[in-house]
């Protein structure tokens, strides 16, 4: 989300008012749709798998944004990135609520919710250095902005277990079917 403000500032002279409007709202359109569908997806395939898929979509779309041949493709990839971003939030919070110890779940979910601040600071610092001091262009900046999502994917893949509640629900459903 923060990354887009920097990209818009870099492209401002090359875009029409309509293109700026579409680009600035693209990620939010994707987040809205992603937020609405990912809960059901995580109920079907599991919280962990859904989170990994959402993070993967966000990462890939963020990287493809850097390769956009024109503004229409950039808008498209930002919508797709928004789908992944909008999906990672409900999946992460649901998974966290189900795997964190009950006595500390509120505290730990607050820490998870607060991590967006670190991401925003990372992107702001990155924008200041890459687009200001080094002036290397928005495409490399877009690639660097996709790295936290890629890192989150890697850590989630290696560390996060599937929700016990989800596994029990699927196991009980199989028992009922075979009974």
What would the pLDDT profile of 126-152 be if each residue is shown by its tens digit? 999 999 999 999 999 999 999 999 999
Residue 93 · residue 112 · CB < 8 Å: yes
What would the pLDDT profile of 16-51 be if each residue is shown by its tens digit? 999 999 999 999 999 999 999 999 999 999 999 999
What would the pLDDT profile of 1-10 be if each residue is shown by its tens digit? 889 999 999 9
Q: Give SS3 for 135.
A: coil
Residue 3 · residue 123 · CB < 8 Å: yes
pTM of the model: 0.91
Q: Report which DSSP code applies to 67.
A: T
Chain centroid to CA 57: 8
């Amino acid at each position: 989300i923060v990354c887009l403000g920097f990209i818009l500032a870099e492209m401002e002279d090359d875009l029409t008012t309509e293109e700026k409007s579409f680009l600035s709202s693209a990620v939010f359109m994707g987040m809205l749709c992603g937020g609405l569908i990912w809960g059901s997806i995580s109920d079907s395939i599991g919280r962990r798998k859904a989170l990994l898929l959402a993070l993967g979509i966000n990462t890939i779309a963020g990287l493809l944004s850097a390769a956009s041949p024109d503004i229409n493709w950039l808008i498209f990839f930002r919508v797709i990135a928004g789908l992944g971003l909008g999906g990672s939030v409900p999946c992460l919070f649901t998974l966290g609520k189900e795997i964190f110890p009950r006595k500390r779940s509120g505290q730990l979910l607050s820490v998870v919710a607060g991590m967006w601040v670190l991401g925003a600071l990372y992107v702001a610092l990155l924008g200041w250095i890459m687009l200001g001091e080094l002036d290397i262009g928005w495409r490399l900046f877009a690639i660097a902005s996709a790295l936290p999502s890629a890192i989150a994917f890697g850590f989630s893949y290696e560390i996060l277990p599937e929700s016990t509640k989800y596994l029990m629900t699927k196991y009980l459903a199989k028992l009922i079917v075979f009974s």
